[in-house]
């Protein structure tokens, strides 16, 4: 039996009771030997995350301002957890040291990393596990990429037996300066550890039982997603299905290490398995997700199709205005580009002028108020009738489709509809496939 890497997110370490749940999860399976933790997150909607408070402390200290108020909240939080766990660590002294380092000008990454560092110390003590400081094993190159030496170091330190706790989110540079990943980066640490120990599975414990097949705010009671491939997750994440840090897929992709998204508050739920390949017999479509606030830039020019370099010039203009685009469905004499509304802020008028002038276009228009819905599933590729089913579902609820785009991998179909039709359309597609 291979080993299991378990990463516990901020809500799973938010207080002593949550950490006790981790204890029973770990004890219930002896293969769960490598534990990666986040910093304590929110206990309720209006609570504060330790990492946010630490960033605030750093910002205040950098301006020579008093950090006692936010640091007091940090201190109380850790002391409360330590007390609830009957910890044997001298938490007061550890916190004092961190406070002093912040005041004396420690780097932002160092300050932020202390959230995970202290949390891992507490958890290791509670579980009777060995604590491994991520600064000693997760190494960054100068360009912020993870150095391959990381895997050798991890293998050396993580033995054949025993239980280990490693703080997530940070590592160190060649000069031993602390460096963090982007926010939510403990997921990446977990994936790196999973690769290093060739884990049987990488369990990512959070506060939901995996992914749902659609947005529960719009579709009532969407079904849970049991199995999904890395490629499908990428497509879904693009539309905001973000339970998991996107970059965390890369270390384990192609190694046959599935990622299992699990719920600390409901440990018996199987959660969602993210795998390299799935049997599409289990479902053609895995998810239907969408987003509003898109605009359509429409350009018409007679004989456009014969004009060499037209597309290049169009995208150069967008680039010169710092606009990144999402999709670009085109016709014979027309091209349209879909962009997020925020990309056009304050730029619309000049952009239209430039497009007309440089492209010598007959017509340039920008229309906003669009929603995009993507239907994702490896099972859709090379299978006739899927698009027909999708379009029929929309026709039946009287939704007009303004944009159609299918990725060349054929694992997604994106439709653009007017924002007013968004919820109706999402529900209709969900009912047609799930």
Residues that bind ligand ASP (CB under 6 A): 10, 38-39, 49, 51, 115, 168-169, 183-186
- Report the nearest approach of ligand ASP to the CB of residue 181 (Å): 7
- Report the nearest approach of ligand ASP to the CB of residue 191 (Å): 12
Compute, in degrees rounded to 10, the torsion defined by CA atoms 309, 310, 313, 314. -150
CA nearest 282: which of 342, 225, 356, 212?
225
What per-residue string of b and e applies to 418-428 under the rule 16 or more CB within 10 Å gives b?
Answer: beebbbebbbb
User: Which of 39/361 has CB closer to ligand ASP?
Assistant: 39
User: Which of 38/150 has CB closer to ligand ASP?
Assistant: 38
- Report the nearest approach of ligand ASP to the CB of residue 117 (Å): 11
User: Which of 134/335 has CB closer to ligand ASP?
Assistant: 134
User: Which of 180/260 has CB closer to ligand ASP?
Assistant: 180
- Report the nearest approach of ligand ASP to the CB of residue 157 (Å): 21
- Report the nearest approach of ligand ASP to the CB of residue 229 (Å): 23
User: Which of 126/169 has CB closer to ligand ASP?
Assistant: 169
CA distance 429 to 414: 11
Count of CA atoms in the C-beta half-sphere (13 A) of 75: 17
Count of CA atoms in the C-beta half-sphere (13 A) of 365: 6
User: Which of 8/422 has CB closer to ligand ASP?
Assistant: 8
Bridge partner residues of 7 (DSSP) = 36, 204
> What element of type H or E holds 417?
strand 412-418
Within 8 A by CB and 6+ apart from 245, the residues are 181, 182, 184, 185, 187, 188
Angle (deg, nearest 10), helices 50-62 and 68-84: 150
- Report the nearest approach of ligand ASP to the CB of residue 182 (Å): 8
């Amino acid at each position: 039996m291979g080993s299991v890497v378990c990463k516990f997110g901020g809500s799973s370490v938010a207080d002593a009771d949550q950490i006790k749940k981790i204890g029973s999860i770990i004890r219930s399976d002896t293969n769960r030997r490598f534990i990666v933790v986040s910093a304590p997150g929110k206990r309720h909607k209006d609570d504060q995350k330790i990492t946010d408070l630490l960033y605030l402390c750093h910002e205040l200290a950098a301006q020579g301002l008093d950090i006692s108020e936010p640091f007091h909240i940090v201190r109380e939080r850790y002391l409360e957890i330590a007390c609830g766990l009957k910890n044997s660590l001298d938490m007061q002294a550890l916190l004092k040291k961190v406070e002093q380092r912040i005041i004396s000008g420690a780097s932002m990454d160092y300050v932020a990393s202390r959230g995970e560092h202290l949390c891992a110390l507490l958890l290791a003590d509670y579980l009777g596990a060995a604590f491994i400081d991520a600064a000693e094993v997760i190494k960054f190159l100068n360009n912020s990429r993870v150095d391959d030496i990381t895997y050798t170091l991890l293998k050396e330190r993580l033995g054949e037996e025993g239980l280990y706790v490693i703080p997530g989110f940070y590592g160190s540079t060649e000069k031993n300066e602390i460096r963090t990943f982007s926010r939510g980066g403990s997921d990446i640490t977990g994936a790196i550890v999973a690769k290093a120990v060739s884990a049987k599975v990488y369990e990512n414990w959070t506060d939901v039982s995996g992914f749902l097949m659609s947005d529960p705010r719009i579709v009532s009671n969407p079904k849970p997603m049991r199995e999904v491939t890395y490629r499908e997750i990428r497509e879904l994440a693009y539309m905001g299905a973000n339970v998991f840090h996107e970059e965390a897929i890369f270390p384990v992709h192609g190694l046959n290490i599935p990622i299992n998204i699990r719920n600390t508050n409901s440990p018996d739920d199987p959660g969602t398995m993210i795998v390299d390949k799935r049997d599409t017999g289990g479902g053609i479509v895995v998810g239907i997700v969408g987003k509003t606030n898109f605009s359509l830039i429409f350009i018409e020019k007679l004989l456009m199709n014969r004009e060499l370099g037209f597309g290049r010039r169009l995208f150069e203009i967008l680039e010169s205005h710092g606009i990144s685009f999402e999709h670009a469905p085109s016709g014979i004499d027309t091209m349209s580009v879909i962009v997020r509304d925020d990309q056009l802020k304050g730029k619309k008028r000049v952009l239209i002028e430039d497009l007309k002038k440089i492209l010598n276009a007959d017509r340039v228009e920008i229309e906003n108020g669009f929603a995009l819905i993507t239907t994702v599933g490896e099972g859709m590729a090379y299978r006739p009738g899927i698009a027909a089913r999708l379009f029929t579902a929309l026709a039946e609820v009287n939704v007009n489709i303004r944009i159609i785009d299918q990725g060349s991998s054929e694992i997604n179909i994106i439709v653009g509809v007017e924002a007013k039709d968004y919820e109706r359309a999402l529900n209709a597609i969900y009912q047609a496939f799930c």
